[in-house]
């Protein structure tokens, strides 16, 4: 089954294209900063210089290298996306698996908690907490995003678990005396592996968008550079009015390309894992 899935994955153009785009930006964000001889906040050239052979993405109104900021921004963007996506996926899986498998009052209690978090205006909560907490870092931002992004994943996983808990192999494990955590991890979760991966992909992209929104309005980390913070600085220093398109186009295009590629990957993975949607 793994070889069959790999065969269709390599033949799926959406999955391959999306993976290539994400991989290129990921490598640029991880390796790129190591090749730059200066920090993103250093004043290294003339102010408001357009793209050239020396400064590929031009400079800011203060003579900072936009390309260096872009590479460092990619690293922060991927980091908060991964951390926020992983945390949201873990919380969603724990709540969804337990509620779906146990049922009864446990399911009702977890469903109430899920619905409460689901109806909360997550962005407003993040704005308030970020504005008054005073501690702004990539880790704290990812923590907030992860703790507010999991409800829809939990509800979807709960529904899938409901359909699997009555299967014969689960009943056999239960009759054999296998404990609940082991049944969930060894019997139910592996049969939802593809669905869980798709869920993480969507949460990953969602975390990047939420983080970029917070950064753009000035409530992001203050100890690092991100693509959203680049957009914030460009807007604050009137880059559009001054015609400095090279300051705001790269981060905007980067966010769009990464999130769009993740969505295309998700569609491709759905076609690979669902035999009815596979491209022959």
Q: Flag whether 50 is in a domain.
A: no
pLDDT of residue 131: 67
Q: Flag whether 188 is in a domain.
A: yes
pLDDT of residue 68: 93
Residues 92-121: pLDDT tens digits?
A: 999 999 999 888 899 899 999 998 888 877
DSSP string over 155-222: HHHHHHHHHHTTSHHHHHHHHTT--HHHHIIIIIGGGGHHHHHHHHHHHHHHHHHHHHHHHHTT-S-S
Instruction: Look at the chain and report how many structural domains it folds into.
Output: 1
pLDDT of residue 95: 94
pLDDT of residue 60: 92
Domain extent, residue 224, equals 2-44+56-277
Low-confidence ranges of the chain (pLDDT < 50): 280
With H, G, I as helix, E, B as strand and everything else as coil, classify residue 43. Answer: strand
Nearest to 49 by CA among 33, 73, 29, 67: 67
Cα distance between residue 48 and residue 103, in whole Å:
61
pLDDT of residue 79: 92
Residues 116-169: pLDDT tens digits?
A: 888 877 667 767 776 676 657 788 888 888 988 899 899 999 998 988 888 888
Q: Flag whether 118 is in a domain.
A: yes
Q: How far from chain centre, in Å, is Cα 90?
A: 13
pLDDT of residue 253: 94
pLDDT of residue 119: 81
Q: Flag whether 51 is in a domain.
A: no
Q: Flag whether 40 is in a domain.
A: yes
Q: Flag whether 217 is in a domain.
A: yes
Q: What are phi and psi of 190, to 5 degrees?
A: -60, -30
Q: Flag whether 49 is in a domain.
A: no
Domain of 147, CATH number, reads 1.10.3720
pLDDT of residue 275: 63
Degrees to nearest 5, angle at CA 278 with 276 and 280 = 120
Nearest to 117 by CA among 84, 153, 83: 153
Q: What is the pTM of this model?
A: 0.88
Q: Flag whether 127 is in a domain.
A: yes
């Amino acid at each position: 089954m793994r070889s069959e899935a790999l065969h269709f994955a390599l033949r799926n153009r959406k999955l391959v294209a999306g993976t290539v785009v994400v991989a290129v930006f990921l490598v640029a964000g991880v390796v790129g900063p190591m090749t730059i001889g200066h920090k993103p906040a250093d004043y290294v050239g003339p102010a408001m210089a357009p793209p050239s052979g020396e400064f590929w993405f031009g400079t800011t109104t203060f003579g900072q290298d936009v390309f260096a900021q872009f590479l460092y921004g990619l690293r922060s963007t991927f980091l908060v996306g991964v951390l926020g996506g992983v945390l949201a996926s873990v919380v969603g899986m724990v709540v969804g698996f337990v509620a779906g498998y146990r049922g009864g009052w446990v399911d009702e209690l977890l469903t109430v908690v899920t619905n409460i978090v689901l109806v909360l205006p997550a962005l407003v909560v993040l704005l308030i907490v970020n504005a008054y907490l005073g501690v702004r870092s990539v880790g704290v931002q990812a923590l907030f995003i992860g703790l507010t992004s999991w409800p829809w994943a939990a509800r979807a996983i709960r529904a899938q678990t409901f359909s699997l808990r009555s299967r014969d192999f689960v009943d056999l494990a239960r009759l054999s005396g296998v404990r609940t955590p082991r049944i969930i991890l060894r019997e139910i979760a592996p049969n939802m592996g593809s669905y869980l991966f798709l869920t993480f992909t969507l949460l990953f992209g969602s975390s990047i968008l939420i983080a970029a929104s917070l950064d753009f309005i000035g409530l992001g980390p203050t100890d690092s550079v991100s693509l959203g913070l680049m957009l914030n600085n460009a807007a604050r220093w009137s880059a559009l009015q001054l015609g400095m398109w090279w300051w705001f186009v790269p981060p905007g295009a980067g966010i769009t390309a990464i999130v769009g590629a993740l969505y295309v990957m998700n569609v491709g993975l759905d076609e690979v894992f669902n035999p009815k949607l596979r491209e022959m």
